[in-house]
Chains A and B, each alone.
Chain A
């Protein structure tokens, strides 16, 4: 089945977000839709799948105009959107999720046997080995993704639209997904996906459409475009060097010493140093305890061990202790732990440093000035100042989160997944910002699941495996092969530390 958009315009109030968008999804073809945050990708996908109606233009299904009244209507036509945040009931089983709202029945009763049978069949087809009666909460992210796809297939999806399917997957997990996508393509399903990872786009898509500011700026067979060309089309300028050159040398002074940090159930006996002006990368598979170690370090989790800042041991039993010692931790989960989505930018910006804006009362004028400064410094783009932060794009949320963290003026910044779900132009801005920090004598720890990010940014890399430090790599030795070997436990040699 072929799904086409013809000359689609879409406005929200006075703001037009899509201009004359035309594209075709062919059966048995994988189509990548790329663009910066706010370029109009989400709106395009929502119009395809019936969540939004176009302001003008046509949606065609096998060349006949259709008007989906709702996402349910689109699903009835075999067009299914899989959201970036999984739309699964965490406490139900895989099988219950797949048939949610479409339960098979025998007479008045649920036909559990038939549903289990079909679930097994669907999962087999996807080469996914999760049990039909497993509770969704307990299965891994890629398995959840497979369950979403199985759910779509159970509704006879012929057009599958995926919003950043690899954003929450590790590279290995993404591989599994890609092989499933190839399988579906072979079965004649039309697939559209978005991604910020251009290497992925290059590898698995057949055709690519680039959006910028709501316009289609490029549309081609994937093999006809290089990654650089894609990036240039997205940003409208040359972005060939994503990672800035190191401007200032790493200082010799040790600012942070961690000794024997143990986070029960997550990390054991982690020790390392951090130098002034250094970017320290932390790599490892998801589940290797990277995030938990850092949360233990700043007191967000119960932990034992010693943390010294410039020689002075810090307490971790009070929420502000780490911050007062100059350590700020920027969470990987900006929607659930980083920002208050139903509050304005101003309230979010100053939440962590409210003390600095308060004498007896909060100085709202000073807050406003801080927001002006943050908007300018971090290039935060918002429709208006009172906008609820949940309505900002991911990249702008991340910039606001950075601004919020930096407002407390920390000497040591721990950034967990600095660019997850963020477009390439914003990524570059964030990398430049990180370099700016170390140039000013601050020290940065970057946790990332993106190998290229760690390699491109870090002066030194610690690799974690199963809650322990598996090894340390310094500048000339930092490469993908060494990191993977350490992370997978193939290479237990520790560097000099």
Chain B
């Protein structure tokens, strides 16, 4: 066979090969939208769509970062606790500076910077322990998960940290307002997702992350700085947890030990539903976005529908998650 033959056969083989694994999550999402529209007329209303997309934003922004960590063969269980801790810290800093700075955008800016810096620092700690100290990501982040959760409970003295009332009206627009009728969380989520998709597919960083997840020895022997890329995936995720927290705090203006509970599992589930491999080596950000939407649509549809016992919500979610993954099984069979 010559090189030219190879090209022709390649194009066809690839097209056939891609179909189901690409369409799987999309089909699941479309099916859900269809079911939702049939069950309730308000489902496709602007208000409901805005609600669903805005509330998806926290998990969604985090899940984009999680896609990189998982693609590089890692895992981060600490993101939910990290978000709670950062939210608590952000509120404490803003409350503490309120008497000196007064309510206003400079103080909001300080709060945002706090969240981003804390996120990067927390991500760096996870990444440092995983790479330099060579501890399993599962164990490291299980540990930090407990640490951040305890810290926020301690900061809140077992109760709830609430943003000072004077600040709330200033910061509220970050969640509730937007431009052209699209709320800020949706805009930020979209920007993060697009940037993530481009980085994953077209930047050396994404390619290196996938190479490391596929076989870190090969990456090392190919002069890739394995530790640095791994560390950066955690730092990147920490930064995005900070971004998500900036969106979260304005919504209710409070943080407690129950903030961000189980976000890590929702984010990981969204990543896997989207077609990223849990063992690493292959990731796609757009799939993660679809995974996040699937998860929040399930909740939304169950709330909008009568006839299903709320006790069964978890079961229905579980079934749909598993179905969405089964739909992509073709990947494995084809390999």
Contacts and interface: CB of A to CB of B under 8 A. Distances in A.
Q: Do chains A and B touch in the complex (CB under 8 A)?
A: yes
A434 B249 CA distance: 63
Given A376-B3, A383-B9, A351 B224 contact: yes
Contact of B335 (A338, A342, A381, A383): A342
Contacts of A322: 223
B46 to A, nearest CB: 35
A443 B226 CA distance: 28
Contacts of B208: 354
A385 B10 contact: yes
A64 interface: no
Contacts of A372: 3
Interface string A330-374: 010000111111110001000110110010111010000000100
A421 to B, nearest CB: 17
B215 A386 contact: no
A388 interface: yes
A336 B218 CA distance: 6
Given A375-B3, A375-B6, A361 B203 contact: yes
Nearest to B215: A340
B202 A362 contact: yes
A487 interface: no
A342 B226 contact: no
Contacts, number: 102
B211 A351 contact: yes
Contacts of A475: none
B275 to A, nearest CB: 14
Contacts of B132: none
A347 B14 contact: no
A441 B60 CA distance: 54
Given A318-B225, A351-B207, A383-B13, A337 B6 contact: no
A323 interface: yes
A235 to B, nearest CB: 16
Interface residues of B, number: 34
A331 B281 CA distance: 21
Given A319-B224, A337-B218, A386-B14, A342 B281 contact: yes
B333 interface: no
A384 B281 contact: no
B203 A358 contact: yes
B329 interface: no
A300 interface: yes
Interface in B214-240: 214-215, 217-226
A234 to B, nearest CB: 18
A68 interface: no
A351 B222 contact: yes
Interface in B1-30: 1, 3, 6-7, 9-14, 17
Nearest to A339: B218
Nearest to A388: B335
Contacts of B226: 319
A361 B214 contact: no
B177 to A, nearest CB: 32
Contacts of A197: none
Nearest to B12: A384
A343 B6 contact: no
A362 B204 contact: yes
A319 B220 contact: yes
A360 B215 CA distance: 25
A418 to B, nearest CB: 16
A327 to B, nearest CB: 10
A386 B218 contact: no
A384 B202 contact: no
B198 interface: yes
A342 B204 CA distance: 18
A193 interface: no
B44 to A, nearest CB: 36
Given A320-B223, A323-B223, A375-B6, A341 B215 contact: yes
Nearest to B281: A342
Contacts of A167: none
A343 B214 contact: yes
Interface string B300-312: 0000000000000
Given A319-B220, A343-B210, 17 more contacts: A322-B223, A336-B215, A337-B221, A340-B211, A340-B218, A341-B214, A342-B214, A342-B282, A343-B211, A343-B214, A351-B222, A351-B224, A352-B223, A355-B204, A383-B13, A384-B11, A408-B223
Interface of B: 1, 3, 6-7, 9-14, 17, 198, 202-204, 207-208, 210-211, 214-215, 217-226, 281-282, 335
24 contacts: A318-B225, A337-B220, A338-B218, A339-B218, A340-B211, A342-B281, A347-B211, A351-B219, A352-B223, A354-B207, A360-B203, A362-B202, A362-B207, A364-B202, A372-B3, A376-B3, A382-B6, A383-B13, A384-B7, A385-B10, A386-B13, A386-B14, A386-B17, A387-B13
